[in-house]
A and B are shown apart, each in its own frame.
Chain A
Amino acid sequence: MPLARFFGCLVRSNLELWPDHSAPAAVESTSEPAIEILTMTDPDPPPIALDPMPRVRFRPDVATIDWDGIGRCRVVDGARVEGWRTAGGDGGRWASLLRAIALPVALAQRGRILLHGSSIRIRGATVSILGASRMGKSTVAAALAQRGHTLISDGLTVLERLPGDRTPVKGFLAWPGPASYRLWPDAIEHFGGEPARYPAAVSGLDKRAVPALGIATGPSRLERVYVLAHGDTERVESLSTVAATIALTQHAFLADYVTAEARDRLLGDAAEVGGLLSVARLERRQRLEHLAGLLDCVEVDVSAPSTGRDQRLG
């Protein structure tokens, strides 16, 4: 079975998970994989809840994921994903469930913090750009990369805590993801491409998996977080620790999927990140003709000295 490196973790799967272009680099390794995905043939899955979208019951030891009509997974100790596909269910969505939810759940069980957004290194500073669906996270990341900045990951940001000398955590490392963007057709056309050339990134959506020409080769320390929001112009507005924590909880990668019992964990993770890093609201006009102004805005802000929370709070 092929091995791939996914946000720093070696993954082995008995199912092809990634569409063309978007697969993480296959690796040859003699070491054991950190996470193993096994699609079970045993037709004896536990009962599936009637959820219109994936529902994650998260626990650090055993998490379960149900998607009505698609399948069910059990994720154990951040090391093993067992999956039962529903007979007749959409194969593309099944692969999406495994790679886009089960694998991140395994990473969360391994203590990683997951944010719904893209990360990119701009002039030596790594920043994350978060936002709701259709806010343009991938488009902004791709446009910044086109200006020569280095992509870390698109769509999912995976953070590892850096232990401090006198504090539990002194910062966060952002790990590189697969070398691809998930772009809507209008964004691909904006960059001069032809949408039809690229495979669907997610089954049932018109988003396309577009290869990234370059990507970071290793993790780097996250310095700032931007949260995309609608506005009348392009501007950056710093958020208070409270506002930052709320925004980061809302934009936790699993926020839309986890059941209520797990949401306190998302709040705790958000408080850690919001308490240490600069978090700002990044307002934008949605039309692509304003994209260049938005990128200018980010580049200028990144060049300004950081006011990390650790300094502010002493």
Chain B
Amino acid sequence: MSVRFRIPPHVASEMLGEETVLLDTTSGDFFALNVTGTRAWQLLRDGADLPTIAARLRLEFEVPEAEVTADLDALFAELGRRGLLEREE
């Protein structure tokens, strides 16, 4: 079963060149994404599931699968912990 995440309505984002700023509009907290995080966020916003995002990043950034998976797991866990991302069951 594919794992999907969704961006909660209280999260605003702005892409700035290759980086992105996320704002939790409820708490006023900010979070910045680097270039790969930004690409993952874009794909997520377009509705891609986790395996699709991992595959695209592997292709576009020429990074080994294990590394992409670990980085994405860590990023999405951090975003989830901060309330910037929700897992869809």
Residues of A within 8 A of B (CB): 241-242, 245-246, 249-250, 255, 260-261, 263-264, 267-268, 270-271, 274-275, 313
Contact = CB atoms under 8 A, between A and B. Distances in A.
Given A246-B21, A260-B10, A268-B12, 4 more contacts: A242-B19, A271-B14, A271-B21, A274-B16
Name the prevailing secondary structure of the B interface residues.
Answer: strand
A118 to B, nearest CB: 23
17 contacts: A241-B16, A242-B19, A242-B32, A245-B14, A245-B16, A245-B21, A246-B21, A250-B28, A260-B10, A260-B25, A263-B12, A267-B12, A267-B21, A267-B23, A271-B14, A274-B16, A275-B17
A299 to B, nearest CB: 29
**Interface-centre pick from B10, B14, B17, B28 (highest chain A CB count, 10 A):** B14
Interface of B: 10, 12-14, 16-17, 19, 21, 23, 25-26, 28, 30, 32
Q: Chain A at the B interface: mostly helix, strand, loop or mixed?
A: helix
Nearest to A258: B25
Contacts of A270: 14
Contacts of B13: 267
Given A246-B30, A249-B30, A267-B12, A313 B17 contact: yes
Nearest to B11: A264
A264 B16 contact: no
Contacts of B28: 250, 255, 263
B23 A264 contact: yes
A313 B16 CA distance: 10
A242 B21 CA distance: 7
A269 to B, nearest CB: 10
Nearest to B20: A242
B32 A263 contact: no
